[in-house]
A and B are shown apart, each in its own frame.
Chain A
Amino acid sequence: MKKYVEDLDFRGEEYVNEWTPWSPQDIRRKKGALEAARLMLNSAQTAPFAGGVPSVEAHIVYGQEELETVARKMEEIAHQKEQWKEPFLYEAVMVRDSDVILFIGNTRCHETPLDAGCGLCGGGLDCSYFYEQKNQKYGLVDITDRSSKKEIDGPLCTARVSDLGYAVGSALWTAHTLMVDARPFASIGMAGMQLGYCRNSGMVVGVPVAVKSKNPYVDVNVDYHLINMDKVLDNTRKIYQTARIIRGFDYRKWIPKPQKSDEEDE
């Protein structure tokens, strides 16, 4: 039997700590989040789909630069629409505080509908609501013109969108089972679409994943894009240095002590 070197050398130790960010001990922690995201994706792929049809694609994104790019795209979109400003800016902070992003998209909702006449898209007894608004011939939708004046090029087949919901739901269920923090976001999904993640999809949902002492996706404060941990830490770096400068002394020769009271002297 062949013996592998790694089998003979099965020993080691791993130190894990979320502080300091992006240190080796923090990256080891993030690797756990990455494994969780991969299992979440497995769950998404086994979710119940209408007719058992495969229609889900996914991207797992991690790394400091990669997450920063997503956050910046969200901030760019935030300033394009007043109604999106606050949620997109707040959620960009959450992306920077995440370990991994799982993008899940549906590849059929804009091109190959269920064609079952369910009416979910437009409330009718056939699929005409969808097809009449699409560039199509004989029911084959031409998606080669990818320019769109809207963030999402609707209408979409809502039955397929529902399949996407089931996939996202299963991913979230597994996150809860594994006790990692995760939530579904429209903002992250739209930014991901614009960045080319899940590019075959008509609709994408972003599910950030984090394994930290504080869940990044809940308990946010007002003006979260201005008041958050990164800003607080950076401000500490800003003010503390100056506070040291104005109190300089040679600690080898003299250190100020609390003044003793009269009673202590006695």
Chain B
Amino acid sequence: MGHLMGIQYCQDHVLEVAKNIALAVHKAPQITGKTDVDVEIIWGEDLEPIIEVMGPVGQVMRYVKWDYETIKSCYEKGENPVVVAVGARTARSNLGWDCGACGFDTCKEFNKYAKENRGGGQLGGPSCNWKALDFSIACDWACAAAWQYRVDNRVMGSLGFALNALGFMPHMDAKIGLALGPPRDMVYYSREEMHQSMTYEMDKQDMLNCVPNLFTAFPGGGTPMYKNKDEWWAPPEFMGMAYSPEVMEVMQQVLFEQVPEIVVKHADKIEARYKDKDK
């Protein structure tokens, strides 16, 4: 007997759905049959370090900013978003196929290189590409399972970066996060969190920066004008390329100062969980 009302029980149930998704990840077919894949589920206060790391990265990466704003907003509103973290051991090949996809002639050479360069990238790496395929098939099954349960979700490299930086899943080389819930439509697509957060000018400038050829005028002169206003010819404007110390400085600050500062605050606590688990 019972009577469930309101939205809270649905929000709570997202966690149960996450566990079903974890089952799907473990069931995902593999090409090699030799790739270790792991899944963890993170929610509640344990999301705070992840959100905190995404904050400064969002300053230099627009797509991270929207991921950050959305998860943070859902969390602060008490909507209980859940992160399904998927990881895999991809930086070592035990296949012996010597196929060349990694850039080395043999798996042995790749393994030697990978041992010296493991985890140097923002999302991990280096990778045996067949194992990367196994990993991404598993990630896709996480997404597909989430859709099957009709829970809004989005697989995010930004979460993968945060998981990596904070030392989640220390035995895994490649990591990605699937943001899950809350139970409503269009959480991670056409996001409400983006409303009122940008101006018309900002949106237009993004397009001009990212897709300049759409705005390129007659190129016959060799130095085309750019149509960035209604009367773009009066006066005409041109584009140039240059090294930007400002952009690079902000990026360096974020990656090598701000993120490490946040990581230091939380890393021990996170590391301790894995030590306790290993015991």
Residues of A whose CB lies within 8 Å of any CB of B are 47-48, 50, 81, 83-84, 117-125, 129-130, 133, 148-156, 158, 161-170, 172-173, 183-186, 190, 203, 205
Contacts and interface: CB of A to CB of B under 8 A. Distances in A.
B120 A125 contact: yes
Contacts of A184: 29-31, 133, 137
The 5 lowest CB-CB distance pairs between A and B, nearest first, are A119-B121, A150-B100, A165-B136, A169-B140, A155-B103
Nearest to B32: A186
Contacts of B28: 169, 172
Given A151-B100, A184-B31, A186-B97, A47 B140 contact: yes
Contact of A123 (B114, B132, B133): B114
B117 interface: yes
A185 B113 CA distance: 26
Q: How large is the interface on B (under 10, 10 to 19, 20 to 34, 35 or more residues)?
A: 35 or more
Most chain A C-beta atoms within 10 Å of own C-beta, residue among B114, B117, B121, B154: B121
Contacts of B263: none
B278 to A, nearest CB: 25
B98 interface: yes
A124 B91 CA distance: 13
Interface in B128-163: 129-130, 132-141, 143-144, 154-155, 157
Contacts of A130: 103
Nearest to A172: B29
Contacts of B136: 161-166, 169
Given A133-B103, A184-B31, A203-B101, A123 B125 contact: yes
Contact of A121 (B97, B100, B127): B127
B137 A120 contact: no
Contact of A117 (B102, B105, B122): B122
Given A123-B91, A129-B103, A186 B130 contact: yes
B133 A155 contact: no
A122 B140 contact: no
A155 B102 contact: yes
Nearest to B129: A161
6 contacts: A119-B125, A120-B132, A169-B28, A184-B30, A184-B133, A185-B31
Nearest to A170: B140
B226 to A, nearest CB: 20
A156 B131 CA distance: 13
Contacts of A151: 99-100
Interface centre among A120, A164, A173, A190 (most CB of B within 10 A): A120
A173 B21 CA distance: 13
B118 interface: yes
A162 B132 CA distance: 6
B117 A81 contact: no
A45 B144 CA distance: 13
B174 interface: yes
Among A84, A162, A163, A190, find the residue whose CB has the most chain B CB atoms closer than 10 A. Answer: A162
A186 B95 CA distance: 12
B183 interface: no
A122 B118 CA distance: 9
Contact of A120 (B104, B113, B127, B134): B127
Nearest to A114: B157
A83 B34 CA distance: 15
B221 interface: no
